[in-house]
Amino acid sequence: MTWTPPPAPPRGQRKPRPTGVAALRAARLRRRTWWLVGTLPVVLALLVLGVKLTLLAPIAATGKDRYDGGEATTAADYYGIQRVLNIVEPWKAHYNHGTALARSEDSWALYDAITSLDRAYDLAENESPEERCMIQTNLSLAYEIQGDGDMAYADDKAAELALVEEAIAARDAGLPYDEEILDPYGDGSEEPDPEELRQDVQDWYEYAEQEYATAKQIRGWPDCGESEQTPEQEEQNEAAQQRLQDKQQQAQDSQPENQGGGDTQEGEGSEGDEQSEASGGEGGEGSEGEDQQSQAEREEQQRQERLGEQGSEARDEQERLEQEYRDLYGDQPGTGTDPGDGSGSGTKNW
C-alpha cells in the first residue's frame, strides 16, 4: 500500500520562514520598531517642552511690554500661557497672571486673579519670605479691590433704595414725585420693591465687609514679618492694616440692619401723627403733609451729604493707595528674573 504525499501549498501565498542571518535581521528590525513606538510619546513630550522653553523668553517679554503699556488684560493672557508645562519656578507664572488680572480691576477678572495668586502662594512654599511676601501683598490687594467694587455697588443700591422710599412716601402723602422712579418702564408693570432693594444693599455691604476682613487677615500672614523690610515698608504695611480695618467698619456700619434708622423714622412719624390728630380739622392734615415733606427733604439732604462724604473718602483713599504703591514699588512692574531665564519675568505689586 502506498501513501499519497500531502498537497503542496499554492505558490506565492506563504513565504518561507527566514533562517540564519535573515532571521537575526528580522528580529532586530522588530525590536527597533517596538523601541520607536514605545519612546515616541517621550520624544514628543521632550520636543514640546523644548519648544515651550524656547518660547518662554519672548512670551515673558511680550507680557511685560503689555503690562508696562497699561494693557493688563492682554498681559494676563500672555502670562497665562506660561503656566502650562512650566517646570522652572512655576509660581512666577501664576503670580504674574494674577497680578495682571488684579491690576485690570475687572470684577470678573478678579476671581481668576485671586485663584492664580493663591496658587502662586502654594507653589512658592519653599521660596524666600521676600518672594512669598510679594504674593501675599498682591493677594490681599486683590481682595481689597474686590471689596471696593462691592462697596461701590452697595452704595449705588442704597442710593436707589433711598429714592424709591422717598418717592413712595411722597406718593402716599399726595405730594409731587418722580414717577419714573416707581415706573421705570412707563407701563405700570413693575414697581421696585423696597424690601428687595434693602436686602440687596444688606447683602452687598456684607460681601464687602467679608472681603475686607479676608484682605486684612492675609496681610497678617507671617511671610512679610519674616522678610527683611525697610522701616518705610513696615509703616506702609501697618497703614494698609488700618485702612482695611476702617473699610471693614464702614461696610459694617453701612448695612441697613446696623443703622437703626428705621426705628427713628417710625418714632418721628408716630409723633407727627399725634401732633396732627391734636390739631384736628383740615389744618391738621396740611400740617401732616408739610411735616412729611420737610422730613423727606431732610432725609434726602442727609443722604446726599453721606454719599458726598463717602465719595470724597473713597477718592482720597484711592489717591493715597496709588501714591503708596508708587512710593514703595515704583511705576515699573518688572521684577524677579530676567525674561531670558525661561521662568518668566516677575511683576511687582502694582
Under the banding of pLDDT at 50, 70 and 90, the label for residue 282 is: very low
Is residue 142 within a helix (H) or strand (E), and if so which, with residue range? helix 129-172
Query: Which of 53-67, 148-162, 276-290, 336-350 holds the top average pLDDT?
Result: 148-162
pTM: 0.63
The alpha carbons of the chain give a radius of gyration, in whole angstroms, of 35
Does residue 232 or residue 43 have the better pLDDT? Answer: 232
Average pLDDT across the chain, whole number? 75
Asked whether the predicted pLDDT for residue 269 surpasses 90, the reply is: no
Per-residue 3-state assignment (H helix, E strand, C coil) for 280-327: CHHHHHHHHHHHHHHHHHHHHHHHHHHHHHHHHHHHHHHHHHHHHHHH
How far apart are the C-alpha atoms of 257 and 64, rounded to whole Å? 46
The reported pLDDT for the residue numbered 55 is: 55
Three cell numbers, residue 332: 515699573
Q: Which of 9-18, 184-193, 294-303 has the lowest mean pLDDT?
A: 9-18
Closest CA to 275 of 262, 257, 261, 289: 289
The reported pLDDT for the residue numbered 317 is: 58
Under the banding of pLDDT at 50, 70 and 90, the label for residue 132 is: very high
Q: Cβ contacts of residue 173 below 8 Å, gap of 6+?
A: 288, 289, 292, 293
Residue type, 112: D
Asked whether the predicted pLDDT for residue 234 surpasses 80, the reply is: yes
Does residue 333 or residue 120 have the better pLDDT? Answer: 120
Residue 345 gets the label, from left (phi > 0), alpha (psi -120 to 50) or beta, of beta
Closest CA to 99 of 124, 123, 64: 64
Q: Cβ contacts of residue 67 below 8 Å, gap of 6+?
A: 75, 100, 103, 333, 334, 347
Q: Residue 319: CA atoms inside 13 Å, Cβ hemisphere, count?
A: 6
Under the banding of pLDDT at 50, 70 and 90, the label for residue 341 is: very low
